[in-house]
Structure 1
Amino acid sequence: NFPVALVREAEGLSRAPLVTDQVEYHPYLSQAPLLEALRERGMALTAYCPLGQGGVLNDGTIAAIARDHDRTPAQVILRWHYQQPGVVAIPRSRRAEHVRANFDILGFSLSDEEMRRISGLARADGRVVNPAGLAPEWDNAG
Structure 2
Amino acid sequence: MPREDLPQIGLGTYSDDNREQWRNNVRTALDVGFRHIDTAQVYENEEYVGEGIRQSSVARDDVWLSTKTVHHDVPSDAEQVPAAIDGCLDRLGVDTVDLLYVHWPSGVYDHEAVLPAYDDAYEAGKTRNVGLSNFTSNLLDEAMDVLDAPLYAHQAEMHPLLPQRDLVAHAQKHDYTFVAYSPLAKGEVFDVPEIVDVAEKHDATPAQVSLAWILSHDNVAAIPKASSREHMTQNLTALDLNLDEEDITLIDSIERRHRVIDADHGPWNWEDDTLLG
Between the two proteins, what is the percent identity of the paired residues?
34
Q: How far does the alpha carbon of each residue in 1:70-91 deviate from its partner, in whole angstroms, 9 at most, with x for none? A: 0111011111111111110100
Query: How many residues align structurally?
Result: 141
Residue 134 (str. 1) matches residue 266 (str. 2): yes
Letter in 1 for 2:198: I
Tell me the residue number matched to 2:181: 48
Letter in 1 for 2:174: R
> Is the CA contact (8 Å cut-off) linking 1:29 and 1:122 kept in structure 2?
no
1:80-95 alignment runs, 5 A limit: 80-95=213-228
TM-score, length-scaled by structure 2: 0.48
Q: How far does the alpha carbon of each residue in 1:53-97 deviate from its partner, in whole angstroms, 9 at most, with x for none? A: 111111111111101100111011111111111110100011110
Tell me the residue number matched to 2:162: 29
2:141 to 8, 24, 29: 8
Letter in 2 for 1:127: R
Runs of 4+ aligned structure 1 residues displaced above 2 Å come to: 133-142
TM-superposed CA distance for 1:137, in Å, is 4.3
Alignment RMSD, CA only? Answer: 1.7
Per the alignment, do residues 135 and 61 of structure 1 end up closer, same or farther by CA in structure 2, a change over 3 Å counting? farther
Letter in 1 for 2:181: Y
| Aligned partner of residue 34 in structure 1, secondary structure | helix
Letter in 1 for 2:266: L
Q: Which has the higher contact order (CA 8 A, sep 6+)?
A: 1
TM-superposed CA distance for 1:134, in Å, is 3.2
> Is the CA contact (8 Å cut-off) linking 1:30 and 1:122 kept in structure 2?
no
Residue 58 (str. 1) matches residue 163 (str. 2): no
Deviates more, 1:54-63 or 1:129-138: 129-138
Letter in 2 for 1:110: L
Tell me the residue number matched to 1:115: 248
TM-score, length-scaled by structure 1: 0.91
| Aligned partner of residue 8 in structure 1, secondary structure | helix
How far, CA to CA, are the matches of 2:202 and 2:174 in structure 1? 34
How far, CA to CA, are the matches of 1:106 and 1:40 in structure 2? 24
> Is the CA contact (8 Å cut-off) linking 1:33 and 1:141 kept in structure 2?
no
For structure 1, the 5+ residue unaligned runs are none
How far, CA to CA, are the matches of 1:99 and 1:10 in structure 2? 34
How far, CA to CA, are the matches of 2:255 and 2:150 in structure 1? 30
Per the alignment, do residues 75 and 2 of structure 1 end up closer, same or farther by CA in structure 2, a change over 3 Å counting? same
Per the alignment, do residues 46 and 106 of structure 1 end up closer, same or farther by CA in structure 2, a change over 3 Å counting? closer
